[in-house]
Amino acid sequence: MTSHLFKLELRLLARERVAWVMLVLFAAALGYGLWNGGRLAGQQREIAVAISKDKESFHAQLREYLGRQSLDPKAVAGQGTMAVLPPAPLPLLATGQSDLSPGHESVVLWKLAAPADTRSELENPSHLLAGRFDFAFVLVWLFPLFLLAMVYDLMAGDRESGTLRLALAQGVAPMQWLLRRALARALPILALAALATLVAGMFGSPGGTTLRLTLALAVVLAYGLFWVALAVAVNVVARSAASAATSLGAAWVLLVLVAPTLLNVSVETLYPTPSRPELVAAGRKASGEAEKRGGDLLNSFYRDHPELAPPGQQADFAAQHLTVQGEVGRAVEPVRQKFDAQLAQQQTAVGRWRFVSPAIAAHEALTDLAGTGYWRYRAFREQVNAFKQTVADFYTPKIHRREPLTMADYERLPRFSFREEPAGDWLERAAVGLAGMLVLTGALGLWAWRRLRPSRLEPLSN
């Protein structure tokens, strides 16, 4: 019975021309989002490959040189080394921070105190401001609209036309009827979104991402089901298809446009980040002051570290620069720490308040699972900062002692290797997001069920 009715509901939907138009438009939007995300992921992958080749070539040359002769550590340190964030696990799923935060950074001994977050590749600023038309944009913003276009009139139109009375008179449980219709009408859009998510996971992914992809699929479906549940709840009370459409349109504006903006403004107000110019200015000021006191600083440094002092304590330019840089780093550190702490607090607040809108929860979960979210980029920044210290610890003593770099040092040369976040961390965040969306969906469903008990048909049938 149920499957036969489900088929009849699908047949009824298939007779609506607008349903086909919506399906085609949604498929086109998904395709464009995937293509756009794929293009960016491709560019980033090419950059990563090029950097990796450069690094290999540099290390091969270095090994060859060191095999023949020792080298001045200043010369090698000046070449720098690239810290690269490996391609995201599911890059097509969400662009996330990957077009804003750099996925690689040149770590040069002489520039360790310089702010890190500067991009090397060119990007249209308006793209950065508006965000990309990526797959996550289609899923978070447009998916609900296409879904609502299919399910806005689940029962309200029947109520208006009178078919609802005839249907209810057959002795069907109203909630069962409504749910079957909701699922049948939502099925084509949900299936298309799920299929596109699988495509996003299969292409451009480095592999070993089954768990991430499964969770992403669950997030997409849970997000879709939330909107279906909302449509069910609205249809329980709406007296006409037009009023149901208006209410659901307003809900979309509120949950997808207004709530994320309000949350963004609120966290910015509660946890304001020091401006980037402030960070740069602090560095410049500290740098200027430290350079003026360069000689004094170096003397004071050798007083503290006599083991590093060269014979005769003749300071050269490089040693002085390193000492000045150390001072600048220490001066800038509180501002940088404040910047990072405020960013972390903002993100924690977003995590805590994401359930004010499932759009926020879904976007957070998708970028997290894609590996383009805040936490993976933060891990990269932290690991780059730690790597800078490793570079400084390796080269600084040699430069102060004027020790040459030999073949024995080759294997100990600092090399950056990104350690992915433990799976438990992103799994927990995504699972909480998913559970939150399911709870919201369940709450809406429960409310609708309570309103639609078979013995309470009065509000529906007049």
Partner 1 sequence: MLETLKLTKRFNGHVAVNDLNLLIKPGEVFALLGPNGAGKTTTINLLLGFLTPDAGEARVNGASVATDPIAARRQIAYIPEQVMLYPRFTGVENLDYFSTLGGRRHTREELLALLKRAGLPAEAADRRVGTYSKGMRQKVGIALALATEAKALLLDEPTSGLDPAASHEFSLLLRKLAGQGVAVLMATHDLFRAREDATRIGILLDGKLAGDYATNDIKHVDLEKLYLKHLRA
Choose, by CB under 8 A, the member of 304, 307, 411, 458 that binds partner 1.
458
161 touches partner 1 (CB under 8 A): yes
Distance of CA 325 to the CA centre of its chain: 33
Residue type, 428: E
**Helical packing angle, 317-353 and 358-370, nearest 10°:** 140
CB of 165 to partner 1, least distance (A): 6
Interaction with partner 1 in 436-455: which residues (CB under 8 A)?
Answer: 454-455
Residue with smaller CB distance to partner 1, 411 or 458: 458
> Are the C-beta atoms of residues 370 and 93 closer than 8 Å to each other?
yes
Residue with smaller CB distance to partner 1, 242 or 413: 242
* Per-residue contact flags (x/-) with partner 1 for residues 8 to 47, judged by CB under 8 A: x--xx--xx-------------------------------
- What residues form DSSP beta bridges with 71? 405
The Cα angle at residue 214 between residues 210 and 218, in degrees rounded to 5: 170
Angular region, 301: left φ>0, alpha ψ -120 to 50, beta rest: alpha
CB of 368 to partner 1, least distance (A): 43
d(CA 125, CA 147): 32
Stretch that binds partner 1, among 39-47, 162-170, 230-238, 264-272 (CB under 8 A): 162-170
Residue with smaller CB distance to partner 1, 172 or 344: 172
Choose, by CB under 8 A, the member of 27, 344, 349, 457 that binds partner 1.
457
Considering CB under 8 A, how many residues would be counted as binding partner 1? 29
175 touches partner 1 (CB under 8 A): no
Maximum C-alpha span of the chain: 103
SS3 content of the chain, % helix, strand, coil (to 5): 75, 0, 20
* Per-residue contact flags (x/-) with partner 1 for residues 176 to 215, judged by CB under 8 A: -x--------------------------------------
Structure tokens at 124: 């249209």
Q: Which of 54, 66, 39 is nearest to 106 (CA)?
A: 54
166 touches partner 1 (CB under 8 A): yes
Distance of CA 260 to the CA centre of its chain: 15
* Per-residue contact flags (x/-) with partner 1 for residues 212 to 231, judged by CB under 8 A: --------------------
Choose, by CB under 8 A, the member of 24, 75, 130, 173 that binds partner 1.
173
DSSP string, 271-283: SPPPPHHHHHHHH
Stretch that binds partner 1, among 7-15, 38-46, 280-288, 375-383 (CB under 8 A): 7-15
CB of 234 to partner 1, least distance (A): 21
Residue with smaller CB distance to partner 1, 177 or 377: 177
> Are the C-beta atoms of residues 399 and 74 closer than 8 Å to each other?
yes
Residue with smaller CB distance to partner 1, 13 or 222: 13
Structure tokens at 108: 């040069």
Residue with smaller CB distance to partner 1, 175 or 370: 175
Choose, by CB under 8 A, the member of 54, 118, 162, 404 that binds partner 1.
162
Residue with smaller CB distance to partner 1, 15 or 419: 15
Choose, by CB under 8 A, the member of 120, 124, 170, 417 that binds partner 1.
170
| Structural element, H or E, at residue 264 | helix 259-270
Please count the CA atoms within 13 angstroms of the CA of 232 that sit on its side-chain side. 31
Spell out the alpha helix ranges (H) of 69-142: 73-79, 125-130, 135-137
Q: Which of 236, 16, 25 is nearest to 145 (CA)?
A: 25
Residue with smaller CB distance to partner 1, 162 or 295: 162
> Which residues lie near partner 1 (CB under 8 A)?
1, 4-5, 8, 11-12, 15-16, 161-163, 165-173, 177, 454-458, 460-462
